[in-house]
Copies of this chain bind each other. A is one copy, B any other.
Amino acid sequence: MTRPLRADAARNRRLLLAAAADEFAERGLDASIADIARRAGIGKGTVFRHFATKEDLIAAIVLDRVEVLIETGDHLLEAEDSGEALLEFLSVAAEQRQQRDLSFLQGASGGNAEVSRVQARLQETIDALVGRARDQGAVRDDVTGTDLFLLMCAPNYVAGYAPGAPPDLWRRYLAIIFDGLRPQGAHPLPHPAPRL
């Protein structure tokens, strides 16, 4: 169904996705296709040749990112220290969004079937990571994979409100949140974990 792209088309596709990610990061979802095209150094029409719709473009970005995370997570399932593994996973997730928070894109591609499927797949991976960590006592008992799925983007979000801050300020907030996930000194949680 998806035949290999011509060399130049593949290059354009890459340029386009990169430019779009940058532009969305800087301007949010309202970034215009025209600006993205200009940034990628290609024509407006070319954007639509690659992605029939702005939503499709967004979905493609999200897909890219989610797939990388799945792979990362699956690798980390084999690490010795399950607590470290989970922390590492969250770090990779945050690093991905380092430029600026792109998590809102996730919401934007809600309708997209493929995105939903891959997100479910990511959820499974996270469930496994959290399960192991919980079993080994690396994270508190009452925390679930869904919780982590939701918390995943928080460090970038928090750091994003500090304008001139170093780009990896998120590490500070990931550390705080992760301390909140440890069993030591955990207070009971209101509300059960949600289901998605």
Contacts and interface: CB of A to CB of B under 8 A. Distances in A.
A169 interface: yes
A52 interface: no
Contacts of A184: 184-185
Interface stretch (A10-18, A61-69, A127-135, A155-163): A155-163
B194 A165 contact: yes
A178 B179 contact: no
Contacts of A103: 161
Contacts of A168: 191
B190 A175 contact: yes
Query: How often does this chain occur in the complex, in copies?
Result: 4
- Name the interface size band of chain A: 35 or more
Given A184-B185, A185-B184, A196 B150 contact: no
A181 B190 contact: no
B179 A166 contact: no
B172 A193 contact: yes
A31 interface: no
B187 A185 contact: no
A120 interface: no
A43 to B, nearest CB: 13
A177 interface: yes
A80 B3 CA distance: 63
- Please give me the 7 A-B residue pairs with the lowest Cβ-Cβ distance, nearest first: A180-B180, A184-B185, A179-B180, A172-B191, A165-B194, A162-B194, A176-B180
